[in-house]
Amino acid sequence: MAQKPLRLLACGDVEGKFDVLFNRVRAIQKKSGNFDLLLCVGNFFGSTPDAEWEEYKTGIKKAPIQTCVLGANNQETVKYFQDADGCELAENITYLGRKGVFTGTSGLQIVYLSGTESLNEPVPGYSFSPKDVSSLRTMLCSTPQFKGVDILLTSPWPKYVGNFGNSSGEVDTKKCGSALVSSLATGLKPRYHFAALEKTYYERLPYRNHIVLQENAQHATRFIALANVGNPEKKKYLYAFSIVPMKLMDAAELVKQPPDVTENPYRKCGKEASIGKQVPAPEEESACQFFFDLNERQGRKRTSTGRDSKSPHPKQPRKPPQPLGPCWFCLASPEVEKHLVVNIGTHCYLALAKGGLSDDHVLILPIGHYQSVVELSAEVVEEVEKYKATLRKFFKSRGKRCILFERNYKSHHLQLQVIPVPLSRCATDDIKDAFITQAQEQQIELLEIPEHSDIKQIAQPGAAYFYVELDTGEKLFHRIKKSFPLQFGREVLASEAILNIPDKSDWRQCQISKEEEETLARRFRKDFEPFDFTLDD
């Protein structure tokens, strides 16, 4: 038999308006039936006279439902909470305590943290410290098979909760809220998280608690901020919901993802791990080579095989497939605009992008005909990685980070776009946020994948996809099923959040004369020369 769900109510700042709250609860219960519990976050007591509270404290009036409340958020109301470990304040009204876990007879697990954040010692009686948050996390997360908790109650909002989510209105979640609460929510993975204090209602889209394709699926979290009781704007201050305790749920049912689920707003992964470690470039192997007069390259020796003197008998690489018709990007093709070519390797070449987002927007392209990264042979992949590493060093020396993306959709030859972004413009996390946010706005599921993962493990040859690689090594991937906006990658990078050149989102609006293109190509070759790994010693 299926477990009967518990019916709960959550409430924002009561601020001493006990009659307004409990009369509303009575009306709801009369219409919809009885609820099991009322949970109050934010300021339970206010600056109003105590006469109304005295009626509840002395038993003249009674709360119509078992009510659990959090503690003080200011010095003025500390007097109402004499016992830090929690106590009964009045009949049916219980103060949970400064911090801890409340487990009901049904198995429902509620974690609570009273007060506001304080980084100072000693911590005021109406605040919590990093030690409080750490002890809660350690107490719960260190238990074997910990999956998360059912409900988290805090008064402050978690900082950054709006990242990747729907608008939080006038509340700026990058400035407002508590970073300690964000840390707690990250570790505890609550199914529901309630907060208040901002005098507004905000129900964030549910977010994931796992990294897609890297971790097993986990349940989603719903964050709900509630307004103050009886507010004149009639913003929502009571939230009704049903919940089956996590421990009683079927595992498959628990981890079902809502259709509108987003990325985790608090996760900033891969930032430290991916910096500074670059895999040494492998030795080049024999392959057919193409030569073009690049003007600046005269007098430099290059073998026709690209053979390394230490490898007298290299294996022969697999020949690339042949295009079915004219190709604008196969280097031997007469259709190639050769004045845009700025560097040629053994298996790949660099070319300035036609109608680029900037003067140094380049493409990494295979010399032979390959449609996507997924279809590249091993030796071509090796040189692609070598070009990536070299371009990162080149752009870093010029105060820029480079973002790479590939769109394997309505294209016939692999074009790995490399767009430099000045370090002064924005951080890598801002670029990542911009891609994920704009993807969500267009109903595009852009997933994080492990930074050292191989796209070939995720996409099969012939599959349509879009993928982004950030300068930290973090990657975002979308499997294209039906249609996809052709200019999506450019639109994100051209947006106000990154390069702030929205008029350049379409390459056709950025074309310049052949003479100007030749000038830019000559300049790039000269600047890139100290980093050119294709030259013999």
Q: Are residues 62 and 161 in the same domain?
A: yes
Question: What's the whole-number mean pLDDT along residues 392-417?
Answer: 94
Q: DSSP letters along 81-101, please?
A: ---TT-EEEETTEEE--SEEE
Cβ contact 188:111 at 8 Å: yes
**Mean pLDDT, residues 400-420:** 93
Examine residue 432 and state whether it is found in any structural domain, yes or no. yes
**Are residues 230 and 355 located together in one domain of the fold?**
no
Residue 207 pLDDT greater than 90, yes or no: yes
Q: Which domain holds residue 209?
A: 6-255
Do 41 and 172 have their domain in common? yes
Give the SS3 label for residue 423.
Answer: coil
pLDDT at residue 287 in the model: 31
- Contact criterion met (CB below 8 Å) for 47 and 67: no
Residue 152 pairs in a beta bridge with 111, 193
Q: Is residue 197 part of a domain?
A: yes
Q: Is the same domain home to 232 and 360?
A: no
Please give the Cα distance from 296 to 532 (Å, whole number). 13
Averaged pLDDT, 402-407: 95
**Domain-ending residue, one of 255, 270, 304:** 255
pLDDT of residue 520: 95
247 shares its domain with 353: no
Domain of 502: which CATH number? 3.30.428.10
Residue 355, both tokens: 């109608």
- Report yes or no on 274 lying in a domain: no
pLDDT at 224: 98
pLDDT surpassing 90 at residue 301? no
pLDDT at 319: 55
Q: What is the pLDDT of residues 473-522, one digit of tens each?
A: 889 999 998 889 999 999 999 999 999 998 888 877 788 899 999 999 99
pLDDT (average), residues 1-6: 76
Is 107 or 151 the better-scoring residue by pLDDT?
151
Nearest to 246 by CA among 202, 191, 194: 191
CA distance 504 to 493: 10
Q: Is 278 helix (H, G, I), strand (E, B) or coil?
A: coil
Evaluate whether 387 touches 420 at the Cβ level (below 8 Å).
no
Average pLDDT of the residues of the chain: 86
- 34 domain-assigned: yes
The reported pLDDT for the residue numbered 53 is 94
Is the same domain home to 486 and 347? yes
pLDDT at 271 over 60: no
Domain boundary among 221, 255, 289: 255
pTM here? Answer: 0.55
* Residue where a domain stops, chosen among 205, 235, 255: 255
509 contacts 451 by C-beta, under 8 angstroms: no
Q: Say if residue 272's pLDDT is above 50.
A: no
Cα–Cα distance for residue pair 436/447, rounded to 1 Å: 8
User: What's the total number of domains in the chain?
Assistant: 2
pLDDT at 422: 95
Looking at residue 2, what is its pLDDT?
Answer: 59
- Evaluate whether residue 18 is within a structural domain: yes
CATH number reported for the structural domain that contains residue 138 in this entry: 3.60.21.10
